[in-house]
Structure 1
Amino acid sequence: MLYPMSPKVVELKRKLESFMDRHIYPNEERFYREAEELGPWKVYPVVEELKPLARAEGLWNLFLPESSHGAGLTNLEYAPLCEVMGRSHLAPEVFNCSAPDTGNMEVLERYGTEKDKERWLKPLLAGEIRSCFAMTEPAVASSDATNIESSIVRDGDHYVINGRKWYTTNATDPRCKICIFMGKTDPDNADRHKQQSMILVPMETSGLEIKRALPVFGFYGVPDRASEVVFTNVRVPKENMLLGEGRGFEIAQGRLGPGRIHHCMRLIGLSERTLEKMCRRVRSRVAFGKPVSEQTVTQERIAEARIMIEQARLLTLNAAYAMDIVGNKVAKAEIAMIKVAVPNMACQIIDWAIQAHGGGGTSNDFGLTQAYATARLLRLADGPDEVHRNQIARFELKKYSNA
């Protein structure tokens, strides 16, 4: 292996795979059923039943690097574990390793005050509450985050917040108690990247209204609890400002780097699972006198899927290694590359798997529609493909600025 796993990671991966076999896969059908029947405004009992089991086995907060609260793993060490968890929509939250809580916990760990950590980080680490992140807005093209129009205005010892956000993941979850909100404190600043700030907003604050749950390809609770949230004259203490006014972009870059790579790690696991389903399906079906697995087109797709997964995994491990060695900011080209490559890879493999399953592949029976919704969403979440491609091209062209 180009990036060999340490003995610690090998053991954690073994324990994780065992837990998946014993508790996650057997409960997936129940999880999807609860999500469909209870909807995005309820807690799914199966998740709450499994979380204590995962914590008891030491499979808890594995994502959090450079902290005494997590497993102390680097991004490279966490990658194969995150891939295992990504094989199932049920798994990440069971291990307290799901978005957006992971990113929010990292923000609180890095930039929160001791009071913030006691009030919000501690129960998040314990899996007792959940959180949301409010950045994207329906009124502007949020692929350019400098477009954000929501306002954060100082008023004595408080800030007053106004704005409309959507795709605010987790807001409908009744356990969601804290929101990290991004808005403008200095809209006239000549530096467009210093106009924004991030501030903590308790969900019970007056003026905060969850308008609706948003479906992702018709799914309301899985793979996401996307939500539209309106903030009308929401007042929070000035101490809730994170890091200081004008530091929102700085925090966002620190938050989104790990978030993007976690998404890619999970998608690789989802793609592996999808390829497994495809192979099992085509070996068990006969068409035109021979197994579908013997059709040349099927074999070509399986071969291409294996190549694409291996390429994506190596690219992702390389990005994780770069983040560990030179930091998120310096590794932004590597992060941008995987954010384009991995979701596109996953979409293609899932599409082939749907085709191999025939009409049944378009139903919810095989988990492929849920998988596609996740992969397709991630071509937009944390920045659309086009933005990342433009960024990669600029990095490349800069090499020849003196040519």
Structure 2
Amino acid sequence: MNLSFPSGHVPRYADFELAGLLDETMREGAERCPFSVPADRKAALARRIVDTGVRDLVFGSAPTDPDLMATVLAELERDGAAEGVRLAFILLLNCWEPLFERFTRFPDALKDHVCISYGMVDHRSDERLFERVHERFRGLGFRHFRVSLINNFARGVDETAYAHIVGQIDRSLALGIDTVRINDSLGVCYPETMAVLAANLVHDYPQVHFCVHAHNDKGLGLQNALASIYNGFDLIEGGFSGFGNRSGLPAIEVLLAIFAEKNITIRGIGIDPDAARETGYAAEDTFLVVPNVYRAMTGRIVNWENLGVANIPDYLGSERRARKFLTDVGTHDQTLRAVLRAAGRPAPDESNGLEPLRAALHAELDAAYVAKRRAYETLVDGIEALYGADVMFEDVAIARAKALAG
């Protein structure tokens, strides 16, 4: 039987404070990018994210990431920019041993800036692997931990699935870990399910800090993230420009715009929207992503709108500033008359009097499309070549391994 809302539960939709923001740009961007990004470019992006005001970065999960984390933190310390910064490492319990060895060499002076985030908590639970690994890391001197609970929400959340989640939370609390990421690992959860799940978890564990790791496979990542905080979760998670595995995570720039309108604040964090936008562009550059010019909030031309009577936002009295452009869609009589008046030219009353201007504009627009069509086809060919070659797919890695063995 699926869950229902706890008795007396009341959601909140505005005017509240969140305890924190978890940024996933670095880790998820590197996992999604089909090419290995050089360490210096990763480090530069991490620094840029910190400079926007983000304090908690989910930095990575790669075998070499502990070393790179130490390098980044040492640079921040040197520049006096490390205060309040914490870099999280996703430690999957099915591959923890080599990573533990890496962390044995981690500088003691930087350990307070690190959070170990355990994934696959239920892996080999009959052997209490989670508990044993945690004690090993505590023994190294690390003090900050959280858990990432992976889930398949394809069938929603019934009482059995909820009990499994609760069991992992109880094990975490027994170790003193009170920050829990609920992962919609396959991006298949619906907002109504997330709302009920969040409400129950907050009701049953009021002392725990929760967030949802909301993959966007069905285009519902943002909705799930909002549903989680509307129903009590006190942490929010996303990535600049929506970076995340497969279809991405909620875009931090979009979250910030929504929060500004709803008076939802994040404790101790203030991020300038212009800095957030530029950081999103830097993430695209780092991970070799062709910019999405129509992306919400920060797409390159989302603040451009068609000129004249075709412009519905103007008709509705929208206060947003937009750069106006003209295509054949906008060459209505009223628009052409307005253009002529703005040019200081007389505007004829009759439609046929506008035809010389309309014909001249259409001829120029048609010629531009032909040229842009050729440029676009060349660009697409280049993009297909970029992403179609030199990707080390699984069969290629196997072939390399065979060659080394031979």
Instruction: Assess same fold via TM > 0.5.
Output: no
TM-score range, shorter chain: under 0.3
TM superposition score normalised by structure 2: 0.24
TM superposition score normalised by structure 1: 0.25
* Bigger CA radius of gyration: 2
